Amino acid sequence: MRVKLEYGTAGVEIAMPGDNVTVLAPRFVPGLPDEEAAFVQAVRHPIGGAPLASLIQPNERVAIVIADVTRPLPSERLVPWVLRELRHLPTDRISIVIGTGSHRGTTPAEMGAMLGDAIASGCRIVDHSAFDTSRLALAGTGIDGQPVFMNRDYVEADRRILIGFVEPHFMAGFSGGYKAVFPGVADIAAIMRYHDARTIGDPLSTWGVLDGNPTQRRIRHDGALLPVDFCVNVTLNRRREITGFYCGEVLAAHEAGCAFSRETAMVPCRQPFPIVVTTNSGYPLDQNLYQAVKGMSAAAQVVSDGGFIAAAARCNDGFPDHGNFRTLLYDHASPRALLDTITQPGFSMYDQWEAQLMAGVLLKARVGLFSELPADAVRRAHLEPIADLDATLAEEIRKAGPDAPVAILPEGPMTIPYIAGV
């Protein structure tokens, strides 16, 4: 049996010995036949609010927030359509804010690809920095009683528009909605508190859960510190085609998008699998090991205790180098030691949240990584380097027994597998 895994831009094929293989993937939904026409219909007949164009006066300053380059948001299509609805505004009244959260900045080449050369050179583009206090302003008091600062252009705008997409998320349940704001344009101190060990370790901070999820609760509270006037959320298929628009009032639009994503992405399984193959859904999500934790976490939902996860993520951008993720992994002798450090009262270090989740996966199962990272770097990160996927999987199946069931998540974290029981 041959299965294509999403890996980088080209993908990679694996040959699976035996017949006891289950492919776990979202239900494929074809892209909309006319995306632009569907967009116009959605923003002029929104969910729970007024049409986009009617909300904004020509003299008002507008901030439009989009996702950064680590997300497959089709900004190059969505932003021009939004600007067309706002053509009654002078261009110099509009700022496009790239919500980097705590990620690295956007390169000029990436900016051009995300927004198109004409927009990138003709509009005010603001690459958010959570670390530069001169570019932040007070937004209000967060759910934890602490001040929350946000991007100055966003705070000082008269009107605010969010553009995002809804997909399964390993902490927030689903992406989209207010997540564009928080943590997208928040300051690093607020992001650190949002990602504290207790919140990340809560069993409800997980895939597909909105109700009672403390991560999502903070996103919605702190994201709403300043009024948001309109939300444009989409769902996508693996071809990056838009499968649905959810536009209007933020919570109503987000809930509608989550309901659709839940129906298409959640895959029940009768029992755990001793071997699970996963990806990080290819480019742009698999550019670094930090992001690749998502695919590992998806696999961990259905791997047997003590089982094996084979993760295929290109990691061409390294760990990356935007924080302490690599340091946390390298400086601890084992995942258990890493988790013990992170969960100590008062401990706080940038990137601890991703390291915490990765350590949790590693305490449940062994994880092998097929990537462009050097083998020694993979080992120091407590993972097993995989040079040949076919050979590794054949050996794991030999050790587990020829009839051992194997699960494959070719789209990685685009799928939410779960044990449903019988």
Catalytic residues: 103, 169
Gap between the Cα atoms of 326 and 383, Å rounded: 12
Residue 27 region, left (φ>0) first, then alpha (ψ -120 to 50), else beta?
beta
Gap between the Cα atoms of 27 and 11, Å rounded: 19
Dig out the tokens for 28 from the structure.
């494929």
Kindly report the number of other CB atoms within 10 A of residue 67's CB atom. Answer: 24
Backbone φ and ψ for 245, nearest 5 degrees, come out as -110, 140
94-99/124-127 β-pairing: parallel
Closest C-alpha among 254, 262, 244 to residue 178: 254
CB burial readout 95-120, b (16+ within 10 A) else e:
bbbbbbbbbbebeeebbbbbbbeebb
Query: Edge to edge, what strands does the sheet with 406-409 contain?
Result: 21-23, 406-409, 273-279, 303-312, 366-370, 384-385
**Residue recorded with tokens 């198109």:** 116
Dig out the tokens for 103 from the structure.
């990620």
Backbone φ and ψ for 211, nearest 5 degrees, come out as -65, 125
Gap between the Cα atoms of 328 and 118, Å rounded: 41
Contacts of 71 (CB under 8 A, 6+ apart): 165, 175, 284, 285
Gap between the Cα atoms of 290 and 381, Å rounded: 11
